Amino acid sequence: MTDHALQRDERERYLAPALLATSSPTAMTQTDGTPHPRRPTDPPGEHYRRHVPEIDKTLSLRLIDVEEDGERFHRWQNDPRVAAFWEYPFDRVTLDDMIRDRLADAHCTPLIGCFDDQPFAYLECYWVAEDRLAPYCEHGPFDQGIHVLVGEAVHLGKANTLAWLNGLSHYLFLREPRCQTLFGEPNANNRAILRYTYPLNAWRKRYEFDFPHKRSMLLSCSRQDFFGGDS
Q: Using pLDDT thresholds of 50, 70 and 90, give the confidence band for residue 1.
A: very low
pTM over 0.75: yes
pLDDT of residue 6: 59
Residue 120, C-beta contacts closer than 8 angstroms, at least 6 positions apart: 113, 114, 150, 151, 152, 154, 155
Annotated catalytic, 208?
no
pLDDT of residue 199: 62
pLDDT of residue 5: 61
Q: What is the dihedral of CA 204, 222, 134, 62, to 10 degrees?
A: -100
pLDDT of residue 230: 45
Percentage of the chain with pLDDT > 70?
Answer: 92
Whole-angstrom Cα distance, residue 223 to residue 207?
Answer: 19
The domain 45-227 having CATH identifier 3.40.630.30: the answer here is: yes
Convert 193-209 into a string of H (helix), E (strand) and C (coil). Answer: HHHHHHHHCCEEEEEEE
Query: How is the chain split into domains, by residue range?
Result: 45-227
- Given 46, 130, 176, 185, the catalytic residue: 185
Whole-angstrom Cα distance, residue 157 to residue 107?
Answer: 30
